[in-house]
Amino acid sequence: MSFKKLDFFNLALALLGLLAAGEAWCIWERASAVRVAEQKLVRVRAQIQAVADAAPAPSRETAALIEADLKRAQGALATMQSELRGRGPAAARLIATKPPAMRTDAFFDLATFVSKSRALAQKQGVLIGPGAAHFGFSLYANEGPETALIEPVFRQRLVANYLVDALLAARPRALLAVQRERPLHADERKARNEALVAAAADPAAAPPAPLESSTTLSPDYFDLDARLSAQAPGLVEVSGFRLIFTGQTAALRALLNQLASFELPIIVRSVEVEPAAGEDIVAAPAEDAAAAPSQPAAPAVSIVLSAPVAKAAKPVATIAPLVAKSISKFTVTVEYVELAPVNAVVAATP
């Protein structure tokens, strides 16, 4: 009986020894894990301290100054946005005027613009060539634009109205053509913007070609070189216009001075000058016609008994000017810039 108790006691001791060994192993394993975790914690703290040393967290005073700078920058941006939208009655009219709702209303709006422009040209003594008979809107001589294009065509009409008025005020000899970029549907505009974004991401890539050559669709249209454009999808939308006219350099100078007043955000992209010839030479306005040389009046005949009658004086020859007035053909390409609202710009900024 005592032998069995001794075996049971030995077995219990063995079990207790195994249990103690297991506990010791667990303690050692936990201690190792704690040491590894402490080492990781030290490394992370060192990294955090390095970042803090490189860019220390701002104090309350610094944070307040940063917020004040941000507000000033946002205010300056809003001011610049406002100034770049133009100033004066032309800009106010462009912002306040609502586009027509129906195609019929858009047609009458364009017809009124053409009628008033013709009357102004006649008043200013400017001849209108066949290519400028509808001032860039010959497509809509008989009907208004389709519903999806009413708003973009109306915006183009407002800008074209300003450009034509400025040119006619400069009194060129003749207006030969008014051209504009082809207005785009929403889907076409989205595809163009995506192409521009892709081209901007790869400077080595060629600029995106027009979706379709506009000149084949209508003489009202022309394609503006994308390399000359200020287009920036989401930030800046542009619309190109081209004026072709004949006259003297004074007319070109007056037009450019008017555009430089920045009543509307219009940027002159190019000016081409060439001698006017062929069909570009049209009949001059009445005030430009050369007057026939006038003959001097014959002197009154007086009879003097003691002297012979004086002979009539010979007419004085007309002296030709040293520099004759030359007529040139001018092609002025401009771009109307529309800026996105301030909130849209801030949202688009990464």
Strand duo 236-247 + 174-180: pairing? antiparallel
pTM value > 0.95: no
Could you tell me if residue 196 is inside a domain? yes
Burial of 208 (0-12, 13-18, 19+ CB in 10 A): middle
Structural domain total, the chain: 1
Could you tell me if residue 310 is inside a domain? no
- Domain range enclosing 169: 79-278+328-348
DSSP 127: E
Q: How many contiguous H segments (helices) and E segments (strands) does the chain have?
A: 8, 5
The runs of H, that is alpha helices, within the chain are: 2-54, 60-83, 88-96, 103-124, 150-169, 186-201, 249-260, 342-348
The identity of residue 237, as a single letter, is E
Cα 316 to chain centroid distance, Å, stands at 58
Could you tell me if residue 223 is inside a domain? yes
Could you tell me if residue 89 is inside a domain? yes
Could you tell me if residue 48 is inside a domain? no
Could you tell me if residue 304 is inside a domain? no
Other residues' Cβ atoms within 10 Å of the Cβ of residue 58? 11
Question: Cα–Cα distance between 83 and 168 in angstroms, integer?
Answer: 26
**Are the CB atoms for 335 and 238 separated by under 8 Å?**
yes
Could you tell me if residue 311 is inside a domain? no
**Are the CB atoms for 107 and 147 separated by under 8 Å?**
no
Per-residue pLDDT of the chain (350 residues; tens, 9 = 90+): 565 666 666 777 777 777 777 777 777 777 777 788 888 888 888 888 777 777 666 677 877 888 888 888 888 877 777 766 667 777 777 778 888 989 999 999 999 999 999 999 999 999 999 999 999 999 999 999 998 899 999 999 999 999 999 999 999 999 999 999 888 877 776 776 666 666 666 666 655 555 555 666 788 999 887 666 665 666 677 888 999 999 999 999 999 999 988 888 888 989 999 988 766 665 444 444 443 333 344 443 333 334 444 455 555 555 555 555 688 999 999 998 877 654 544 444 44
Could you tell me if residue 266 is inside a domain? yes
The identity of residue 209, as a single letter, is A
Question: Cα–Cα distance between 264 and 239 in angstroms, integer?
Answer: 13
Structure tokens at 99: 């586009």
Interior/surface letters 292-316, b for 16+ CB within 10 angstroms, e for the rest: eeeeeeeeeeeeeeeeeeeeeeeee
Residue found under tokens 């915006």:
155
